[in-house]
């Protein structure tokens, strides 16, 4: 059984067909990249997986359970976390608090309000300490200690991308969806991001599906690549094979 299985997925918006009969199987532990020109339907695949869009047709099963029809918070609580193409963080809150929000699906009590009125030894206080410790470990892992107590809006763009990644990790997902993790970053930040993604897969034992335009990054770290164009799947396979696929080459050349 595939870890994540997308079968015959189609979705349209008005007259525009964004995905047409897409099927993708993802094995556990892989880094799988989805590539394709602008408007190919890459983000739409993520939105269908996470319950933001409801497909017109098809099924998406995660560890054997159907995702279509589930609400985004239900999908999240099944162990699927994501980052967004346009960073979505609470920009007036600090890095620490944004990451703590990522923990909320695991919280029995509300650490922002409940715990402050209770003694240090109460179960709620203990729970808060545990969540904070987990978040501290992620902050350390991503080396964003200096951003810890700073409101997100005051951080450089590259650091905000890492904070969003940190918030997704704070959810302790088993499947992580990254929508253009290196977009807008400089070369050095891109290289770092490549290492983070690989380390995350290895250290956190998560399966990663990544949408990414930077071909060097994609070719370097992907175990498998899926190529989309105009909502149609052109190819799936090892990076070298997909890169040489005539239809994939044509889709990219046709763009220029």
Ligand X SMILES: Nc1ncnc2c1ncn2[C@@H]1O[C@H](COP(=O)(O)OP(=O)(O)OP(=O)(O)O)[C@@H](O)[C@H]1O
Residues in contact with Mg ion by CB under 5 A are 42-43, 85
Q: Which stretch binds ligand X (CB under 6 A): 37-45, 54-62, 74-82, 219-227?
A: 37-45
Handedness of CA 143, 145, 146, 150 (dihedral sign): positive
> Looking only at residues 78 through 137 of this chain, which bind ligand X when binding is defined by CB under 6 A?
85
Strands 16-26, 57-62: pairing kind? unpaired
16 binds, among Mg ion, ligand X, none (CB under 5 to 8 A by kind): ligand X
39 binds, among Mg ion, ligand X, none (CB under 5 to 8 A by kind): ligand X
Residues pairing with 60 in the sheet: 6
Let me know: does 60 contact 6? Beta carbons within 8 Å: yes
The answer to the question of residue 41 lying near ligand X (CB under 6 A) is: yes
**38 or 113: whose CB is closer to ligand X?**
38
State how far Cα 108 lies from the chain centre.
25
What DSSP designation does 121 have? T
36 binds, among Mg ion, ligand X, none (CB under 5 to 8 A by kind): ligand X
The answer to the question of residue 144 lying near ligand X (CB under 6 A) is: no
Q: How many helices (H) and strands (E) does the chain have?
A: 9, 10
Kindly list the residues in this chain that would bind ligand X in the complex (CB under 6 A). Answer: 13, 16, 18, 36, 38-44, 85
């Amino acid at each position: 059984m595939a870890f994540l299985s997308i079968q015959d997925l189609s979705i349209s918006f008005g007259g525009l067909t964004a995905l047409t009969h897409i099927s993708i199987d993802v094995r556990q532990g892989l880094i799988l990249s989805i590539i394709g020109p602008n408007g190919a339907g890459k983000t739409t695949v993520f939105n269908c997986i996470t319950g933001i869009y409801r497909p017109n047709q098809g099924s998406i099963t995660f560890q054997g359970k159907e995702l279509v029809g589930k609400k985004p918070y239900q999908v999240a609580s099944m162990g699927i976390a994501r980052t967004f193409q346009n960073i979505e963080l609470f920009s007036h809150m600090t890095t620490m608090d944004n990451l703590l929000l990522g923990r909320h699906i695991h919280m029995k009590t509300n650490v922002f309000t409940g715990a402050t009125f209770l003694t240090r030894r109460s179960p709620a206080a203990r729970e808060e300490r545990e969540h904070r410790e987990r978040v501290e470990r992620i902050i350390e892992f991503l080396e964003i200690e200096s951003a810890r107590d700073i409101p997100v809006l005051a951080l450089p763009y590259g650091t905000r991308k890492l904070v969003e990644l940190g918030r997704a990790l704070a959810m302790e997902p088993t499947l992580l969806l990254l929508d253009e993790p290196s977009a807008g970053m400089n070369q050095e930040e891109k290289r770092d991001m490549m290492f983070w993604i690989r380390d995350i897969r290895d250290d956190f034992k998560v399966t990663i599906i990544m949408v990414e335009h930077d071909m060097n990054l994609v070719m370097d770290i992907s175990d498998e690549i899926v190529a989309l164009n105009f909502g149609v799947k052109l190819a799936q396979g090892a990076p070298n094979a997909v890169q040489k696929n005539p239809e994939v080459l044509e889709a990219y050349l046709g763009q220029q």
